[in-house]
Amino acid sequence: MNKNIASFVSMLLIVALTACGGKKQKAHEGEKHEEMGPDRVELTAEQAKVAGVALGSVEMRPLSGILKVSGMVTVAPDRSASVCTPLGGYVKSIAVMPGKLVQKGQVLSVVENQEFIDIQQNYVEARNKLEFAQAEYKRHNELYKNDVYSQKSVQQTTSDYNNLRAQVRALGQKLALVGINPARLNENNISRAIAVRAPISGYVKAVNVSIGKYAASADPMFEIVDCSQLMLELTLFEKDASKVSDGQEIRFFINDEAEPHRAQMLQTGKTIGADRTYKVYARVTGKCKNLMPGMYVRADVKAGTEAVTAVPSEAVVGFDDKHYIFVFEKSKTENGKPVSEYRMVQVGIGVADKGFTEIVLPAGFDMKSARIVVKGAYTLLSAAKNAGEMSC
């Protein structure tokens, strides 16, 4: 006989025997009848043997579960860039399109602005003045040593020289900011245009300008993403905060692919959002084809291992969205037959691992002395819920 069919027949037998036993007790008016609560069930020794009831205890066991979460593929902040032109300008040319791979320092666009000419002119003039001021500074100091010039005259010359040095340095920094090398600039190569270059290597995600358009200094002209090191941004509920930690292994899936990809937990969130969730970040490990920033992912996070109150998974039964275990109460004799009485106890459940399930016991439950049903719990549940509803 098929094992499942045999189990089903055994369950029906137990239910029938339990119901019939109840009716027979009521038929003998002269006998003392013990009223039982809705959370109690009785089995004779024969019924318990047919049902395969076995007893055990609640244990403290290290369990690790799997958290199923969702999120998206992203990149670290230092691997994405919004490219702007510091002083603004009109777009003269564009050298890239969205999706193009670019290298750090590669020209993306050329922009023009009258202000570029002014800065270069001011720098060249200030540098020429500085050369003259430096010569005067040295000459006056030599004359001062020979008591030819007064101290006041030397101080004025020194002040003018230092002011010009500061001016040249400041203008040089402005030139470097717009991409012009001050050391190579002279009165013969002043230009009205500058090149906008890629600050990082990566793929062009967006081009936000067109030829002839004025690009303000605050407007991103291009967006670049370095996809060589992708990350996951996952959303977890606050109740799972204690189950994750840095370094944990993650399996994730994209689209409808059955093949899992791998990631490793990099950093867990430190704040809880208004929706009672928090973010965790993981580094994608290995090469993953077709993986791009912005993709939706489903992930399995292996929760941290910790000792919890646990029982064999077979000992936990469900009914009406609630979970129960059965606790052996006592042995007694009814109608000359040995009978065992069991109490149904509602529990909460947690992670499941290696055939065991974490349970949350009610207040006051003595797990040290309690003997629980570890096999045959579903038969007891059926007997408890159906007793009295079947006729002999």
* pLDDT tens for each residue of 336-381: 889 999 999 999 987 777 889 989 899 989 988 999 999 999 888 8
The pair of three-digit structure tokens given for residue 331, joined into one six-digit string: 């042995």
Predicted local distance difference test score (pLDDT) of residue 325: 94
| Per-residue tokens: 354 | 């290696």
pLDDT, position 105: 93
Task: Give 145-172 pLDDT, tens digit per residue.
Answer: 766 667 777 788 888 889 999 999 999 9
Mean pLDDT of the 255-280 span: 85
- All structural domains of the chain, each given as residue ranges with its CATH number in brackets, are 3-64+307-386 (2.40.420.20), 67-78+226-303 (2.40.30.170), 83-225 (2.40.50.100)
- Output the pLDDT for position 89: 93
Provide φ and ψ at 332, rounded to 5°. -155, 180
Quick check: 73 and 231 in contact, CB under 8 A?
Answer: yes
Give the least confident one: 5-19, 166-180, 345-359.
5-19
The rounded percent of the chain whose pLDDT value lies above 70 is 87
* pLDDT score at 83: 94
Q: Are strands 66-75 and 230-237 parallel, antiparallel or unpaired?
A: antiparallel
Residue partners of 197: CB distance under 8 A and separation at least 6: 105, 106, 107, 108, 179
Q: For the ranges 126-130, 218-222, 244-248, which has the lowest average pLDDT?
A: 244-248
Q: What percent of the chain has a predicted confidence (pLDDT) above 90?
A: 41
SS3 46: helix
Half-sphere exposure of 356 (CA within 13 A, CB side): 17
- Alpha carbons within 13 A on the beta-carbon side of 358: 16
User: pLDDT, tens digit, for every residue of 70-118?
Assistant: 999 999 888 999 999 988 899 999 999 999 999 999 999 999 999 999 9
pLDDT at 148: 61
**With contact defined as beta carbons under 8 Å apart, do 225 and 202 qualify?**
yes
pTM over 0.75: no
Using 50, 70 and 90 to split pLDDT, how confident is the model at 197? very high
- Cβ proximity of 392 and 20 under 8 Å: yes
pLDDT at 35: 64
In this structure, of 26-30, 232-236, 290-294, the range with the lowest mean pLDDT score is: 26-30
Tokens representing residue 236 in the block = 């977890």
pLDDT at 223 exceeding the cut of 70: yes
Q: Looking at the predicted structure, is the pLDDT value of residue 20 above 50?
A: no
Q: Identity (one letter) of the amino acid at 183?
A: A
Residues 212 and 78: their CA atoms lie apart, in Å, by: 31
**Res. 180: pLDDT tops 50:** yes
**Residues 233, 281 contacting (CB under 8 angstroms):** yes
Would you state the pLDDT for residue 119? Answer: 92
Q: What one-letter code names the amino acid at 172? A: G
b/e 258-293 (16+ beta carbons within 10 angstroms → b): eeebebebbebbeeeeeeeebbbbbbbeeebeebeb
Residue 10 pLDDT exceeds 60:
no
pLDDT at residue number 19? 43
Backbone angles phi, psi at 225, to 5 degrees: -125, 130
Q: What is the pLDDT of residue 282?
A: 92
Q: According to the model, what pLDDT value does residue 3 have?
A: 43
> Is residue 178 exposed (0-12), middle (13-18) or buried (19+ Cβ within 10 Å)?
buried
